[in-house]
Structure 1
């Protein structure tokens, strides 16, 4: 059954997941990605997949491959003090009746390969080095002009093109910009030490170090730290800067610092930004998903999870409603408060990390557990 044609703008995690979900719902789907190839469209080192992400990936036939390619945990994580002593266990949450683990970690290139292969196998067309130039929404479809000089008409357009979305102005009609949290993050792939069998968070006097297993022999280190907006660090100075900032740490972080932080070229540095766009997340036949409407800082590992959920829910709504207007309204209603909780909770954790003394009663682990337990509820 052919239910119509959909253009997905953006070939990242959310865009590919949405494409697979829509293809499964009977739509012809084409993805355009501005980057020139699969490799260049992947950012970052590793990714956290909480159990709600695995549930959504299972709905599009990708969870099993992710579990096979990554590292599954029996609990969410634990918190350590600056010397490496245990402060608190963080059990995470499970979905009743499901065998899915509380968390899976894997590399971003592996996840991208899994999603791309699944999309291709499902019959999705993916074009790299291409994007749209104009969208003209009308009662019978959206006329699309592309960067390669071609054009066509599609039934719907999905904007999955990130926090600086070029599709978003067609929907919201205003210049929304993400908010810089005041933190930036260093990330680096490292060999997995035995104790990195879940997320390990270690609080320092300034900033927070963390470790995530992403394979049997691989993990990644991240360090969230207060950082002046607009300040950029030369790539060749990354290792020295990170070692200096981790100098107060003992325990696991101290050992990792001394053993593995020596190659600046392998360190990824990113500012942490957030956004929650006002509803509705559509106008006419154009709809937004993922970071285009709810950019999430990494403190709860939920950014990609929410984008994958968006795609699954959008496909469900289009399949179960008689008109696209009803479907898009239902999609936003099902997603808005859930995404807002994740965005606002992540921001709160980041603000606490930057200035613990200003938030003496803040319960980092407790808020994390609350969000994780909320996320296992039906989407």
Structure 2
């Protein structure tokens, strides 16, 4: 890099953190604007796929992540009567591959420490508009910040800046959300598996091992319960005992975990959006993370997509400088990867979160056999691992990364500036 840019990053979630780290390492001047007065993680846990883990490896952070995460080798979902609906393992792609279950607090800390104080974090500042031509930011108190050479909007699924790129083709709330919290793992027998239980498409329960976080050495599980957004108030009004009775009846094998649920205040509420933009950039403004491509969490790719966005944006600026060509290259690369996941997520969500019982019955009967068809299982595993690129391509995983993930190679060392 020969051009040192002044860059504004709006939002300090995974996308904003990764962008700030990568751009700071390239010696750009970075200002970060976060509306929360005390920035921190939002959410319980997630599954880092090989696609996102390769980005963290390239950033030199794989070992820091692995210190708190839990290897996940299998995704298994069944019904209360024991019918297996989903049974997929990473070994079907490569015996050395796995996912890593991780708490949001742990990844937030890893990325925050990797920034090492570079750039200036403006907490408690809400940016409500961006002048894409001049690179000026307008906040909720009427102040103006900038100008900036590049403005990266990474303000999440409910982005207030998404429309600034000149065309949102879809932006809607999903009718279903979820309740979630962290539970102690203790003697849970499936500590390397994401386990889910389905009752038609009306009930979906999950337990994902997510390891530890700085300051808390207790291994934990991320628990979620699918619920229509319109039923949040009814759930609270019905009271916890009634819900716990249903929960224990549907998944008695996990009763020991659910014994830790004793207060409705333990459970946070999550809602989801589906957003598709025609343009990822306009003038000096560019979108990253959920601001560019919010989708249902059904395929669990949100954090991984955010990391891939950050790396692709960094690489585009390295290759083309701060130009229209750089933004076009970034958009072209990421859209080819994201589009197939948005479509699959939109199609699959009603099979797991809806009132369409007939669809759920077809899912229970057909999903397993479809995964055993020639070519079908490989495609499903690539979608699972985040490595499907377009309808027929694959996102390459570097051999050195695969060895590092399997613990067979030295960690990648990244210089402070590249």
Task: Give me the TM-score of the superposition, normalised by structure 1.
Answer: 0.86
Gaps (5+ residues) in structure 2? 213-218, 372-378, 389-393, 397-418
CA distance in 1, matches of 2:386, 2:350: 21
Matching of residue 125 in structure 1 with residue 120 in structure 2: yes
**Alpha-carbon spacing, 1:323–1:107, altered in 2? closer, same or farther (3 Å):** closer
How many angstroms does 1:320 deviate by? 0.3
CA distance in 2 between partners of 1:360 and 1:106 (Å): 32
5 Å matches for 1:53-202? 53-73=52-72, 75-84=73-82, 86=84, 88-92=86-90, 101-121=97-117, 123-138=118-133, 141-147=134-140, 149=143, 151-172=145-166, 178-192=171-185, 193-202=188-197
In the TM superposition, residue 228 of structure 1 has moved relative to its aligned partner by 5.1
State yes or no: 1:294 paired with 2:293: yes
TM-fit CA distance, 1:296: 2.0
Conserved? CA contact 1:236–1:264, under 8 Å: no
Residues 345 and 240 from structure 1, CA distance in 2 versus in 1: closer, same or farther, beyond 3 angstroms? farther
CA contact under 8 A between 2:49 and 2:99: conserved in structure 1?
yes
2:18 alignment partner, SS class: helix
**Partner residue, 1:246:** 247
Preserved contact between residue 6 and residue 156 of structure 1 (Cα < 8 Å)? yes
Cross-structure match for 1:266: 266
Quote the residue 2:224 is aligned against: 222
CA distance in 2, matches of 1:304, 1:31: 19
Compared CA separation, residues 349 and 251, structure 1 to 2 (3 A): farther
Q: 1:248 offset after TM fit, Å?
A: 4.2
Q: Distance in 1 between matches of 2:332 and 2:270?
A: 31
Distance in 1 of aligned mates of 2:22 and 2:261: 40
Deviations 1:197-233 (A, max 9, x none): 21112122432111100116211211223x1548545
Q: Aligned partners of 2:264 and 2:31: how far apart in 1?
A: 38
- What pairs up with 1:336-347 in 2 under 5 angstroms? 336-347=335-346
- Structure-1 separation of matches of 2:198 and 2:235: 26
1:80 is displaced (CA, Å) by 2.3
Cα offset for 1:78? 1.4
Distance 2:65 2:233 in 1: 34
Residues 1:238 and 1:340: Cα distance change in structure 2 (over 3 Å): farther
Aligned to 1:330: 329
Distance 1:361 1:11 in 2: 41
Residue 196 of structure 1: how far off its partner (Å): 3.4
Over residues 88-135 of structure 1, what are the superposed CA-to-partner deviations in whole Å (9 max), with x where a residue is unaligned?
A: 531136887x96x421112111111111111235x2322211133543
Distance in 1 (alpha carbons) for counterparts of 2:16 and 2:103: 18
Partner of 1:369: 381
1:364/1:321 Cα in 2 relative to 1: closer, same or farther (>3 Å)?
Answer: farther
Aligned to 2:276: 276
Runs (5+) with no aligned partner, structure 1: none
CA contact (8 A) 1:84 1:250 kept: no
TM-score, normalised to structure 2's length?
A: 0.79
Q: Quote the Cα distance in structure 2 between the aligned partners of 1:155 and 1:241.
A: 56
Cα RMSD after superposing both structures:
2.8
Q: Secondary structure at the match of 1:186?
A: strand
Deviations 1:120-151 (A, max 9, x none): 35x2322211133543233xx51334456353
